[in-house]
Structure 1
Amino acid sequence: MDVSTAPWREAELLPVDLDVKVEGGTYRIASRTPLKDHDFNMPRAFAQVASRQPKAPALHRREGGTGDWRTVSYSELKRQCDGVTQWLLDQGVTGPVLMMGANSPAMAAFLFGTLASPAISAPVSPLLALVGGDLGRLRHVLSLVQPAVVFIEDARAVAAAIDGLDLGDAIVVTGTPEVLSRETVTLQTVLETEPTAAIQASIEGLKPEKIVQYMLTSGSTGLPKAVAATLGNLAANTASGGQLTRLNWTEKVLNWMPWHHVAGAAVLRATLLSGGEFYIDDGKPMPGLFDLSIRNLKAQPVQYYVNVPLGYALLADALEADADLRRMFFSELRIMLFGGAALAQPVMDRIQAMAVAETGHRILMPSAYGATETTSGIMAGYEYTDRVSLGLPLPGTTIKLVPHDHRYELRVAGPSVTAGYLDDPVRNAQIFDEEGFYRSGDLVTFVDPADPKRGIAFAGRAAEEFKLDSGVWVSGGAVRDAALKTLSPLIAEVAVCDDNRPYLGLLAWPSPDGVARELGVPVAEALQSGVLSAALKARLKTHNASQQGGSSRIARLGLLLTPPDPNAHELSDKGTVNRRAVLDNRPGDLEALYADPPGPLVVVVD
Structure 2
Amino acid sequence: MADAADIAEAAPPAPFREAHLLPVDLDVERRADGVILITSRVPLRPYDANIPAAFARRAAASGDKPALARRGADGEWAFTSFAQLKQDMDAATQWLMDEAPAGPVLILAGNTPAFAVMSFAAQAAGRAACPVSTTYAALGGDYGRLAHVIAKVKPAVVFAEDTAMAAGALEALDLGGARIITTDPSRLSKPAVAYADLLATVPTPAVATSIAGLKAQDRAALMLTSGSTGLPKVVPITFDNLAANSAQCQQTIGEAAGWHEVMLDWLPWHHAAGAFVLRTTLLEGGTLYIDDGKPAPGLFETSIRNLREISVSYFNNVPLGYAMLVEALEKDPVLRATFFKKMRLMLYGGAGLSQTVHDRLQACAVAETGHRIMMTSGYGMTETVSAFMVIHFETDKVGIGLPAPGTTLKLAPVGERYEVRARGPNVTEGYLDEPEKTADAFDEEGFYRTGDLAVFHDPADPTQGLAFAGRAAEEFKLSSGTWVYGGSLRDGLLKALSPLVMDLVLCDDGRPYLGVMLWPVVGADPAEVARRLAAFNLDQRGGAARVKRALLLAEPPSANAHEISDKGTINRRAVIDRRADQVERLFAETHDAGVLALG
| Aligned partner of residue 301 in structure 1, secondary structure | coil
For residues 510-525 of structure 1, the aligned pairs below 5 Å read 510-512=520-522, 522-523=523-524
Instruction: Give per-residue Cα distances to partners, 1:447-469, cap 9 Å, x unaligned.
Output: 11111111011111111111100
**Structure 2 portions without partners, runs of 5+:** 1-7
Q: What is the aligned partner in structure 2 of residue 562 from structure 1?
A: 555
Instruction: Give per-residue Cα distances to partners, 1:466-503, cap 9 Å, x unaligned.
Output: 11000111112222111111111101000110000000
Aligned residues of 1:93 and 1:118 also touching (Cα < 8 A):
no
Q: Distance in 1 between matches of 2:592 and 2:291?
A: 40
Which residue of the other structure, out of 61, 65, 71, is the alignment partner of 2:70? 61
Q: What is the aligned partner in structure 2 of residue 196 from structure 1?
A: 204
| Aligned partner of residue 303 in structure 2, secondary structure | helix
How much does 1:4 deviate? 6.1
1:540 aligns with 2:533: yes
Q: Distance in 1 between matches of 2:166 and 2:53?
A: 35
1:5 aligns with 2:5: no
Which residue of the other structure, out of 64, 71, 82, is the alignment partner of 2:90? 82
How much does 1:92 deviate? 4.7
Instruction: Give per-residue Cα distances to partners, 1:374-406, cap 9 Å, x unaligned.
Output: 000001101111110001111111100000011
Aligned residues of 2:564 and 2:570 also touching (Cα < 8 A):
yes
For residues 473-492 of structure 1, the aligned pairs below 5 Å read 473-492=483-502
Q: What is the aligned partner in structure 2 of residue 217 from structure 1?
A: 225
Range 158-167 or range 567-576, more displaced: 158-167
Instruction: Give per-residue Cα distances to partners, 1:184-228, cap 9 Å, x unaligned.
Output: 101111122111111111111111111111101111011100001
Q: Distance in 1 between matches of 2:527 and 2:130?
A: 49
Which residue of the other structure, out of 99, 108, 113, is the alignment partner of 2:121? 113
Q: What is the aligned partner in structure 2 of residue 519 from structure 1?
A: none
Aligned residues of 1:117 and 1:202 also touching (Cα < 8 A):
yes
Q: What is the aligned partner in structure 2 of residue 31 from structure 1?
A: 40
Q: What is the aligned partner in structure 2 of residue 443 from structure 1?
A: 453
Q: Distance in 2 between matches of 1:389 and 1:9?
A: 20
Count of aligned residue pairs for this structure pair: 588
Q: What is the aligned partner in structure 1 of residue 5 from structure 2?
A: none
1:312 aligns with 2:322: yes
Aligned residues of 1:93 and 1:119 also touching (Cα < 8 A):
no
How much does 1:109 deviate? 0.6
Q: What is the aligned partner in structure 2 of residue 48 from structure 1?
A: 57
| Aligned partner of residue 376 in structure 2, secondary structure | coil
Q: Distance in 1 between matches of 2:261 and 2:87?
A: 22
Which residue of the other structure, out of 379, 383, 386, is the alignment partner of 1:376? 386
Q: Distance in 1 between matches of 2:527 and 2:353?
A: 26
How much does 1:183 deviate? 1.2
Aligned residues of 2:66 and 2:80 also touching (Cα < 8 A):
yes
Q: What is the aligned partner in structure 1 of residue 509 from structure 2?
A: 499
| Amino acid aligned to 1:306 | N
Q: Distance in 2 between matches of 1:563 and 1:145?
A: 33
Q: What is the aligned partner in structure 1 of residue 164 from structure 2?
A: 156
Range 156-165 or range 195-204, more displaced: 156-165
Q: Distance in 2 between matches of 1:215 and 1:601?
A: 42
Instruction: Give per-residue Cα distances to partners, 1:315-362, cap 9 Å, x unaligned.
Output: 001111111000000001000011001111111111100100000000
| Amino acid aligned to 1:242 | Q
Q: What is the aligned partner in structure 1 of residue 416 from structure 2?
A: 406
Q: Distance in 1 between matches of 2:359 and 2:65?
A: 38
Q: Distance in 1 between matches of 2:175 and 2:442?
A: 33
Which residue of the other structure, out of 405, 422, 438, is the alignment partner of 1:428? 438
| Aligned partner of residue 242 in structure 1, secondary structure | helix
Q: Distance in 2 between matches of 1:52 and 1:126?
A: 33
How much does 1:133 deviate? 2.2
Q: Distance in 2 between matches of 1:135 and 1:601?
A: 36
Q: Distance in 2 between matches of 1:399 and 1:546?
A: 34
How much does 1:167 deviate? 1.0
1:262 aligns with 2:255: no
1:578 aligns with 2:571: yes
Q: What is the aligned partner in structure 2 of residue 390 from structure 1?
A: 400
Aligned residues of 1:95 and 1:119 also touching (Cα < 8 A):
yes
Q: What is the aligned partner in structure 2 of residue 126 from structure 1?
A: 134
Q: Distance in 1 between matches of 2:38 and 2:316?
A: 25
How much does 1:155 deviate? 2.0
| Amino acid aligned to 2:232 | P
Q: What is the aligned partner in structure 1 of residue 3 from structure 2?
A: none
Q: What is the aligned partner in structure 1 of residue 542 from structure 2?
A: 549
Q: Distance in 2 between matches of 1:257 and 1:16?
A: 28
1:101 aligns with 2:109: yes
How much does 1:132 deviate? 2.4
| Amino acid aligned to 2:409 | I
Q: Distance in 2 between matches of 1:597 and 1:572?
A: 34
Which residue of the other structure, out of 284, 307, 317, is the alignment partner of 2:294? 284
How much does 1:93 deviate? 3.5
| Aligned partner of residue 367 in structure 1, secondary structure | strand
How much does 1:156 deviate? 1.3
Aligned residues of 1:94 and 1:120 also touching (Cα < 8 A):
no
Range 118-127 or range 151-160, more displaced: 151-160
Q: What is the aligned partner in structure 2 of residue 343 from structure 1?
A: 353
Aligned residues of 2:100 and 2:157 also touching (Cα < 8 A):
no
How much does 1:599 deviate? 2.9
Q: What is the aligned partner in structure 1 of residue 582 from structure 2?
A: 589
| Aligned partner of residue 21 in structure 1, secondary structure | strand
User: Normalized against structure 2, the TM-score is what?
Assistant: 0.97
1:169 aligns with 2:162: no
How much does 1:91 deviate? 2.2
Instruction: Give per-residue Cα distances to partners, 1:59-89, cap 9 Å, x unaligned.
Output: 000014x711000110000001111211111
**Structure 1 portions without partners, runs of 5+:** 513-521, 524-531
Q: Distance in 1 between matches of 2:376 and 2:193?
A: 44
Aligned residues of 1:442 and 1:462 also touching (Cα < 8 A):
yes
Aligned residues of 2:69 and 2:290 also touching (Cα < 8 A):
yes
Q: Distance in 1 between matches of 2:461 and 2:192?
A: 60
Instruction: Give per-residue Cα distances to partners, 1:295-332, cap 9 Å, x unaligned.
Output: 11111100011111111111001111111000000001
